[in-house]
């Protein structure tokens, strides 16, 4: 088990950074922190490889924290139907 701190990016919607609470953000590369922006602490969670998380695999999170010092959770892909909202619709006469 590892206690992880989870941070939210204020720059990119639904982007999260998981780190070992003991290390805080010390092992996160400076270039990533510049892209991520000011981190907002969301929570600390006890994490085991079999814990269920909403959008990521806990085992992968733990492995990347051990290997790289962090796990970056990217925003989910936008649904295709949302992308269609901005396309021309010649059949409806609306452009």
**31: Cβ contacts below 8 Å, ≥ 6 apart:** none
Map out the domains of the chain with their CATH numbers.
2-92 (3.10.510.20)
> What pLDDT, on a 0 to 100 scale, did the predictor assign at position 77?
81
> What pLDDT, on a 0 to 100 scale, did the predictor assign at position 54?
85
The residue ranges of the chain whose pLDDT is under 70 are 79-95
Q: Cα–Cα distances in Å, from 39 out to 5, 24, 50, 62, 80?
A: 11, 11, 27, 20, 29
């Amino acid at each position: 088990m590892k206690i992880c701190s989870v941070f939210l990016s204020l720059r990119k919607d639904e982007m999260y950074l998981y780190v070992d609470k003991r290390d805080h953000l010390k092992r996160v590369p400076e270039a990533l922190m510049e892209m991520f922006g000011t981190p907002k602490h969301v929570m600390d969670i006890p994490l085991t490889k079999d814990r269920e998380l909403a959008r990521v695999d806990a085992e992968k999170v733990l492995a990347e924290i051990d290997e790289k010092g962090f796990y970056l959770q990217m925003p989910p892909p936008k649904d295709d139907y949302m992308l269609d909202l901005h396309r021309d619709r010649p059949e409806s006469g609306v452009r």
